[in-house]
Amino acid sequence: MRRLNACLTLLLLAPIAALSAPTSAPTSAPTSAPTSGPSSADVIAPVLAALAWRDFSATISMRVSRDGNKLKQIQLKMLDDEEGQAMRLDFERPTKLRGMKFLALARRDGIDSWAIYLRMLRRVMNVPLDGSNVMVRDMVNLGFFKPRPELLEFSDTGERVTLEGGQGCRVIAAQPKNEAARRQLGFERLTLCVDEAHRVARRTFFEAQRPIRQQTTLSFHEGPGGPLPKQIRAVDLDSGEITEVFLSAIQVNTKLPRRLFSRRAISRK
Amino acid sequence: MSRLILASLLWAPLAYGEIGPNLTGYLNVYDYLDHSGLIAPLLDHHEAADALVQDRGGFRLQLRLDDEISEGIAFDVSLNFEYDAVVAQRQPTDRPQDGFRVYPKEGFIDLVGLGGFDVRAGRQYLFWGRFEWGGVLDLLAPWDFNTMGAEKENFRLAVDALNVRYTLDQLNLTALVLPYFQPTRMALKLPEKIGPLDVIQNDALLPSGAVQHMETALRLQLEGARSLLGLIWYRGYDRIFSMNTQTLIEPGQFTGTMIFTPEYHPLEVFGLEGEWVSGPVVFKMEAGLNLTDDPQGDDLTVSNHNIAWMLGADWEINGDLSLNLQYGQTHLLDYDRQAEYEARAALGEPDPYVERTVQSRIITRIRYMLTDQLKLQIMALVNAPDTNLLGLSFFSWSPLPDIQIYLGSILFRGIEDTTFGRLEGQSRLFSELKVLF
């Protein structure tokens, strides 16, 4: 599961990273301390407002490599129901993962639940949220493609950076609201470089005791529901693993049936 | 049914026109020959003749066809083409082609959203209860102890069933009908003589396919965000046989015959299941009241009423290591062990084995990811106090994404007449190469 976890992590975090630009600067997390100013809700409100889609589906191809060597390639279908705060991943490739499905259900009160259907076991299993499965954990918790004010406290650092390509970004920091949220999220600090013109995060940094991951979106799908990530690159700063994600067959606001997002649904065809 | 599934596999693609269903599968080369002589001190090494009966070695090609035909209608069919070279050599009269067989492993149609109902009809795996191993409510999918191995699909059996599910918010209701009974498969080899008595082993007596022998089950589950509570009712048959013994003594002589007939007896179960996720641990419980065909507890051939329960937890220690621990008990009701012993001895069984009034079970499973490609799993199931155990351990190595190699061991130990004691001859090392496509 280790590699898979990493991939899941990327997937679920991708949306936020995907709100980023085809550049690579800055390469480390801005370090400015949060300054007093607008409330957490005010800080994140413009970002949330820009993410106007309600649901989407996409085919995702993911390639994991290290030192130029391909480690894994995975293809899956993602269904995301933002209104219901639900995400579903149906694995298609490689064949040994085919039939596996992952479901994450979030609630506004922060009580989330995850489940996985393993075809090999023909069984839906509850997945612990705050095990040491850090990559999955923070991916899911961030990964409903919109920042989650119920779990995070946002603050404007006041810092501005310019990304390659010339986009100006405002740096927003986020921290878990409480210890329970911290355990669930699995990180201690998140830094978003938010494009001031488009009000979407261009780059995301994750920190535990130190920076652990950096994600950049290389291209977007521009649709009626606002920008969606199309090509993402994530670097695990510990292992050096690079995960590249490409979304295709993106469909936005198709009113995905709510019944697709249940434990029962992932156990059937 | 098998022919129906086979036919559906063949004609289903025609229904599509240009858009075809998904065709996937695998080729598996397996070796479950008895190499236990290599580690004879650890495994019971049995006579070659016995080993030949138990051994398996050959290949299996599985073709799986599945797709969603239209909104709310889907199918999934898996067909196995298998050649077991050992089967073709069991008797001198066996021919090479006797080792080849084609059979549907799984095959069902899903109808989704029929007024809130989901229907799955056909051959399907049905795993009830919360535990992978040793659950007291895992009543529906028979075991196949003759084909134990690394993958569950090979040692559990799909059953033909009509499976109807209804969901209302957090409530799930499931109703099942299994039209005919399928027992757990377990090798049984009796000695030719017991003392001065000749032994005759009859074929097992199975419930007929009559309507009144259909298995039925209901399950009501209440799902919370991180918890689950369920009630289960099942009426059918115990999938483990009871041995009916008849002793015929010739008048005035010390010779005679013992006739053994495996029988399957009615069973009704009222069960309770629960699951709760807390931190990195998933806590689980199952309990069942098992009502057998022996309300007075005086039928020697039928298990007594009993209460069984199991508690356990899955703990994900870190991304590479997970641990499962379970403990449970079975309490026989209305049971007089001494009287049972004396009654069976009076029938001619020398020193008969009789069950304990309270039996315990401990299960542990460790999964460890040694590298991204190499995984180790160790599972042990121990029944006490008449210790008998099942151990299944294996390495799983995936050098390429769609190649899987298993190297492992299966260990059955225990005194005679216990479930795993009967299976000691099945202990062995095994290897499998699986190529998926």
> Mean of the pLDDT values across residues A3-14?
43
Residue A136 has pLDDT above 60, yes or no: no
CB proximity under 8 Å: A 91-130 to B: 94-96, 98, 105, 107, 111-113, 120-123, 125-130
Does B237 fall in a domain? yes
A85, A119, A122: best to mutate for the B interface, most B CBs within 10 A: A122
**What's the confidence (pLDDT) of residue B19?**
53
**What's the confidence (pLDDT) of residue A184?**
75
Residues of chain B found within 8 Å of residue A133, distances taken between Cβ atoms: 280, 316, 319
Per residue in A165-208, pLDDT (tens digit) is 777 888 889 998 888 788 777 778 888 888 877 777 778 887 87
Mean pLDDT of chain A: 76
Kindly write down the DSSP assignment for every residue of B384-407, as one continuous string: ETTTEEEEEEEEEEEEETTEEEEE
C-beta atoms surrounding B401 within 10 Å: 18
Binning pLDDT at 50, 70 and 90, where does residue A3 land? very low
Domains in chain A, number: 1
Write the residue in B125, B225, B316 that is nearest to A132 by C-beta: B316
- Domain extent, residue A89, equals 2-266
**What's the confidence (pLDDT) of residue B273?**
98
Domains in chain B, number: 1
A126, A183, A254, A262: best to mutate for the B interface, most B CBs within 10 A: A126
Q: What is the complex's ipTM, to 2 decimals?
A: 0.83
Binning pLDDT at 50, 70 and 90, where does residue B425 land? confident
Most confidently modeled range among A82-96, A127-141, B281-295:
B281-295
Residue B222 has pLDDT above 60, yes or no: yes
Which chain A residue is nearest to residue B23, measuring alpha carbons?
A: A95
Place of tokens 């209104």: A83
Tokens of A60: 């995702």
**What's the confidence (pLDDT) of residue B39?**
53
Spatial separation of the C-alpha atoms in residues A99 and A115, rounded to whole Å: 14
Spatial separation of the C-alpha atoms in residues A212 and A189, rounded to whole Å: 10
**What's the confidence (pLDDT) of residue B4?**
54
Does B170 fall in a domain? yes
Residue A64 or residue B391, greater confidence: B391
Spatial separation of the C-alpha atoms in residues B45 and B37, rounded to whole Å: 6
> Mean of the pLDDT values across residues B245-264?
83
Burial A101-135 (b: 16+ CB within 10 A, else e): bbbbbbeeebebbbbbbebebbebbbbbbbbbbbb
Q: Are B141 and B153 in contact (CB under 8 A)?
A: no
- The dihedral built from the CA positions of residue B125, B129, B133 and B134, taken in this order, carries a sign that is negative
A188 touching B (Cβ < 8 Å): no
> Mean of the pLDDT values across residues A97-126?
86
Q: What percent of chain A has pLDDT over 70?
A: 79
Please tell me what DSSP assigns to residue A144.
Answer: S
Under an 8 A CB cutoff, do B74 and A1 touch?
Answer: no
Which chain B residue is nearest to residue A111, measuring alpha carbons?
A: B225
Under an 8 A CB cutoff, do B110 and A121 touch?
Answer: no
A239 touching B (Cβ < 8 Å): no
Residue A52 has pLDDT above 80, yes or no: no
Which chain A residue is nearest to residue B132, measuring alpha carbons?
A: A121
Spatial separation of the C-alpha atoms in residues A115 and A130, rounded to whole Å: 13
**What's the confidence (pLDDT) of residue A55?**
87
**What's the confidence (pLDDT) of residue B218?**
98
> Mean of the pLDDT values across residues B335-358?
85
Under an 8 A CB cutoff, do B225 and A112 touch?
Answer: yes
Residue A210 has pLDDT above 90, yes or no: no
Which chain B residue is nearest to residue A4, measuring alpha carbons?
A: B372
**What's the confidence (pLDDT) of residue A22?**
35
Residue B401 has pLDDT above 80, yes or no: yes
> Mean of the pLDDT values across residues B267-272?
98
Which chain B residue is nearest to residue A180, measuring alpha carbons?
A: B279
**What's the confidence (pLDDT) of residue A13?**
40
Q: What percent of chain B has pLDDT over 90?
A: 52
Per residue in B352-396, pLDDT (tens digit) is 888 899 999 999 999 999 988 899 999 999 999 988 999 999 999
Residues of chain B found within 8 Å of residue A119, distances taken between Cβ atoms: none
Per residue in B102-134, pLDDT (tens digit) is 999 999 999 988 888 999 999 999 999 999 999
**What's the confidence (pLDDT) of residue A34?**
47
CATH number at residue A214: 2.50.20.10
**DSSP helix/strand/coil, A44:** helix
**What's the confidence (pLDDT) of residue B12?**
53
Binning pLDDT at 50, 70 and 90, where does residue A228 land? confident
**DSSP helix/strand/coil, B164:** strand
CB proximity under 8 Å: A 62-91 to B: 71-73
Residue B295 has pLDDT above 50, yes or no: yes
Residue B2 or residue B345, greater confidence: B345
**What's the confidence (pLDDT) of residue B428?**
86
Under an 8 A CB cutoff, do B317 and A134 touch?
Answer: no
Does B344 fall in a domain? yes
**What's the confidence (pLDDT) of residue A131?**
46
Q: From residue A254, how far is each of A58, A246, A247, B244 by CA, in Å?
A: 12, 21, 17, 63
Does B366 fall in a domain? yes
**What's the confidence (pLDDT) of residue B6?**
52
Q: Is B325 exposed, middle or buried (0-12, 13-18, 19+ CB in 10 A)?
A: middle
Residue B72 has pLDDT above 70, yes or no: yes
**What's the confidence (pLDDT) of residue B68?**
86
Residue A60 or residue B351, greater confidence: A60
**What's the confidence (pLDDT) of residue B88?**
76
Most confidently modeled range among A106-115, B176-185, B187-196:
B176-185
CA-based nearest distance A153→chain B, Å: 22
Residue A251 or residue A133, greater confidence: A251
Write the residue in B76, B153, B223 that is nearest to A269 by C-beta: B76
Does B20 fall in a domain? no
Q: A186-195, B37-46, B330-339, B406-415: which has the minimum mean pLDDT? A: B37-46
- Domain extent, residue B388, equals 125-432
Tell me how far the alpha carbon of residue B113 is from its chain's centroid. Answer: 31
Q: What percent of chain A has pLDDT over 90?
A: 6
Q: A134-138, B151-155, B354-358, B371-375: which has the minimum mean pLDDT? A: A134-138
CATH number at residue B351: 2.40.160
Binning pLDDT at 50, 70 and 90, where does residue B17 land? very low
Q: Is B111 exposed, middle or buried (0-12, 13-18, 19+ CB in 10 A)?
A: middle
**What's the confidence (pLDDT) of residue B155?**
93
Does B95 fall in a domain? no
Place of tokens 């035909």: B69
Residue A81 has pLDDT above 60, yes or no: yes
Mean pLDDT of chain B: 87
Binning pLDDT at 50, 70 and 90, where does residue B177 land? very high
Spatial separation of the C-alpha atoms in residues A2 and B344, rounded to whole Å: 55
Tokens of A148: 């989650």
Binning pLDDT at 50, 70 and 90, where does residue B49 land? very low
Q: Chains A and B: how many Cβ contacts under 8 Å?
A: 99
**What's the confidence (pLDDT) of residue B7?**
56
Please give the torsion angle defined by the CA atoms of residues B145, B149, B151 and B152, in that order, rounded to the nearest 10 degrees.
Answer: 10
Does B238 fall in a domain? yes
